[in-house]
Structure 1
């Protein structure tokens, strides 16, 4: 039975502030879990008897499961109501976090992370919808700015908090920390919003579309994660996964475009702003997120940073991002969002180019400086692009558009992590081969160098060769990472034209998000 929609009075004063904090905390908790495990991967892998490569599945399975679950938000919200779904998802996220922290093995942890990713699916789209619905229309930019700040600070705080918890206590506590935060957010949200529930109605679920979505996303993610280990398309398994992903994706496109109640409303991509804005925010997120996974991993593996030190070195991005956020919100309200987004991407490109100058002997200040400056483009990022992609969307379709753009962004983040890791491994191998191609006994210069090393450090021949190989491996990894940084810089410049296929947008996008969330 369909409930009758009645307008709710606007929240004001302290009630609005408390509600904003609770909803923002739920967003922060969800986004935090996309990056808090980054610096803890070596600890998790070592503790659970797995390799570091296998440990990165802790990150990618969460992102992939989250991406698959997001499109279900609209159907669930209309069946249950936005508030019940939002609070229920928070409580299930708390449960999943406890299961992650208490996992005795990597397979159990991965299963718990899948559950965590699935129940986190509705949280980000609904947080946007609830915040936009709580603020007056003229303050929609403020609502989007608050959401963007929490969505941006989460990945920034993740490595710092994860490193400190891992070194000071145990990696399990990076998941247990969600429990008090989630219980507070759920309790306050329910207290304020329980009488402001959205209308509910029964809609058929697109079972075939959902099944195809799970198959192509899952197949593609496994292929990307295992491709390097299995030598890519020389492996029958990788070929099978690739074909499965391709065929199921094509069937998914055809089905969703012809289904009356699709699980993903692909028709939104016919709108120019949504198309350009979604691709721009998703590709940029894939590049950004792939890099913030690799950076702390390199620091720990090759620079001998502790987890907490790697977190501290990557945390300064939040300094300027938070300090500039209010000013950027005001700038966004008065400026063409395309100009702001362009400046943002140029800033990202400049920061990644600065990182191409990293060396194995780099000191902490020169390591941190690009990260600190990265806070400037980060402060413009989400608000400008969300304003662009939501501009011109009818009020009743704003939640669907927010949900779909989040689905594409989160999925691209998972793919970006896998691609960045694989490309780094490939470039490291390539540079190692180039650096050692003349390192043989038949080369007089190499024999002389080894002799000097042995006599200077009083090493045996085998130890001198091991030291040489370790030095070359470290240098090759640095050169490979510099290649990733350089490519990232180029990609940010190349996607700028996507911003300019959109029409001008000012302010914060559309304010009315009362119709549910897809």
Structure 2
């Protein structure tokens, strides 16, 4: 059904604006939260459903693949059916499939429902972004960007904490159940509050070839990234085949979408230099940010003896300042050139990552957590103005496509960073362990002392090996942080490839 919008709707105000903001922010928060909430519960889910932990990882992979596929389709879906209809439908479906995930009685059922959950959750991120900008008065659009960015930054940090608490205190289905009422109520309220902001629609035939190529290369890449470490990467023919399919599929996808009259993903927005440069900075900086949020809880849980919940509390320190700074930075970056804000924010993240590259095994909870607390200042400082630059340089009719691509690149950067940092961290730990093992206790003084205190030979050797493993992981973690600091630095300088924005985002988009 085609809908014609004859006049620009008036922005919301008062209670209606507050309600609309809460519902849109809730949708974005839930969709991003689901990318990390199951991470700490994989072993519990696998054990409950009678499968191995390696099979349990498909709970994460299935959602990530489906979400990565549906996010860039947002622009086409919005132009075909209308932004509000697509948003509300996806939000209610998200609630329904969350319920079905919790009720799943087998791994195959759970993975199937997670696929549909990812397909439903993908469009929520970019549409919540563009709809929030539309419901605000034009002179307050920076507040919309600030609120949306705040939920985007906090949600992936909160995921493991909520997942750990719900799984520990109740059981794994509750990591899905708790989202149901929020999603369905927010969907119903959104329809009542923002249906007047529906966008124009056009009956465009779906680009079936483009959609097929998108599914092939994204699915191949995601599965390759998830399974590569377990199959020794390219020593496995399975990983090699997946890599070849991903590369060929991606090249074919680019060629087809750039020449198709009605592409399923509008790649032409990359013709705007500001958007392209912003996406380069985003891919580097967000990938680096995701890398340190992945390796930190792993190190804390495996080698520092932290529980999943306590390590989550430590990592969550990065999000505290972001909650309060995001709206303020959004206001400031709307009045001044946003590029210096991005540069300082990404460099700040890199500086604190460099300082964290000198950690040791004797550090307390607060010695680990406080640097992350101050590092959090850089998160809104780079992400909020970067969003303004990216969406402020595209045309109004390209907003949904640009927002979809921005969220797709962010999601893909996180997936690539997670795989790379996991593999690099384990490989480096193994390498350092092998190097140090030949240099440790050559004369056997420590082993003899342990045996003299009552340990058996096996116990003393096991104890020495564990101490060596802890130190090896510490060295590997510090080296990862050094490399990540370098990536942050490169990402910071990349923003200067963007021209100074000549317009800001308003309630009606750019002009």
Q: TM-score, normalised by structure 1?
A: 0.92
Distance apart, 1:100 and its partner CA: 2.8
Residues 172, 359 of structure 1: alpha-carbon distance in 2 compared, 3 angstrom cutoff:
farther
Query: Which residue number corresponds to residue 418 of structure 1?
Result: 419
Q: What pairs with 1:278-297 in structure 2 (closer than 5 Å)?
A: 278-297=279-298
Q: Residues 329, 74 of structure 1: CA spacing in aligned structure 2 closer, same or farther, 3 A cutoff?
A: closer
Which residue among 431, 450, 454 is the counterpart of 1:453?
450
Name the structure 2 match of 1:276. 277
Matches of 2:288 and 2:140, distance apart in 1: 31
Note the alpha carbon deviations across 1:75-117, whole angstroms, 9 max, x for none: 2223322222111111111122223333445454333332221
Instruction: State whether structure 2 residue 87 is matched by structure 1 residue 89.
Output: no
| Equivalent position of 1:76 in the other structure | 77
Tell me the equivalent position of 1:170.
Answer: 171
* Cα gap change, 1:196 to 1:510, in 2 (>3 Å): closer
Distance 1:15 1:246 in 2: 47
Shift of the alpha carbon at 1:231?
A: 1.9
Partner residue in 1 for 2:358:
357
Aligned to 2:218: 217
* SS of residue matched to 1:495: helix
User: In the aligned structure 1, how far is the partner of 2:393 from the partner of 2:442?
Assistant: 70
Aligned to 1:3: 3
Q: Is the 8 A contact 1:60 1:414 kept in 2?
A: no
Aligned to 2:24: 23
Matched ranges for 1:62-461 at <5 A: 62-438=63-439, 444-445=442-443, 447-456=444-453, 458-461=454-457
State how far apart, in whole Å, the 2-side matches of 1:47 and 1:484 are.
34
Q: Are 1:504 and 2:500 an aligned pair?
A: yes
How far has the Cα of 1:160 moved from its partner? 2.8
1:71 touches 1:403 (CA, 8 Å); kept in 2? yes
- Aligned partners of 2:350 and 2:489 also within 8 Å: yes
Distance 1:54 1:488, change over 3 A: farther
CA offset digits 1:113-147 (Å, max 9, x no partner):
32221111110111112111112222221211121
Query: How far apart are residue 513 of structure 1 and its match?
Result: 4.6
Q: Give per-residue Cα distances to partners, 1:337-379, cap 9 Å, x unaligned.
A: 1100011011110221122122222210111012111220112
CA distance in 1, matches of 2:207, 2:486: 39
Greater shift in the superposed pair: 503-512 or 306-315:
503-512
Structure 1 residues 277 and 477: CA distance shift in structure 2, 3 A = same
Cα offset, 1:49, TM superposition: 5.8
Contact between 2:429 and 2:476, CA under 8 Å: does it hold in 1? yes
CA shift digits 1:49-73 (9 cap, x unpaired): 6666665554444233211111222
Q: What is the rounded CA distance, in whole Å, between the counterparts of 2:44 and 2:308 in structure 1?
A: 9
* CA distance 1:444–1:243, shift in 2 (3 Å): closer
Structure 1 residue 3 displacement after superposition: 2.7
CA distance in 2, matches of 1:108, 1:507: 49
Q: Which moved more, 1:385-394 or 1:205-214?
A: 385-394
RMSD of Structure 2 on Structure 1 (CA): 2.3
Who is 2:477 aligned against? 481
Contact 1:283 1:412 in 2 (8 A): yes
Secondary structure class of the residue paired with 2:358: coil
Gaps of 5+ in 2: none
Distance 1:244 1:117 in 2: 22
- Counterparts of 1:311 and 1:444 in 2: how far apart (Å)? 39
Q: How many residues align?
A: 510
| Contact 1:40 1:171 (C-alpha < 8 Å) held by counterparts | yes
Q: Compute the TM-score of the two structures, normalised by the length of structure 2.
A: 0.94
Alpha-carbon contact 2:393-2:503 (below 8 Å) kept: no
Alpha-carbon contact 1:387-1:505 (below 8 Å) kept: no
Q: Secondary structure at the match of 2:229?
A: coil
Q: What does the per-residue CA deviation read over 1:244-288, in whole Å, with 9 as the maximum and x for residues that have no partner? A: 111111111111111111112112112110100012112211221
Q: Is this contact kept in 2: 1:273–1:503, CA < 8 A?
A: yes
Once the two structures are overlaid, the 10-residue window that deviates more, 152-161 or 378-387, is 152-161
For the structure 1 residues 71 and 495, does the alpha-carbon distance in structure 2 shift closer, same or farther, using more than 3 Å as the test? same
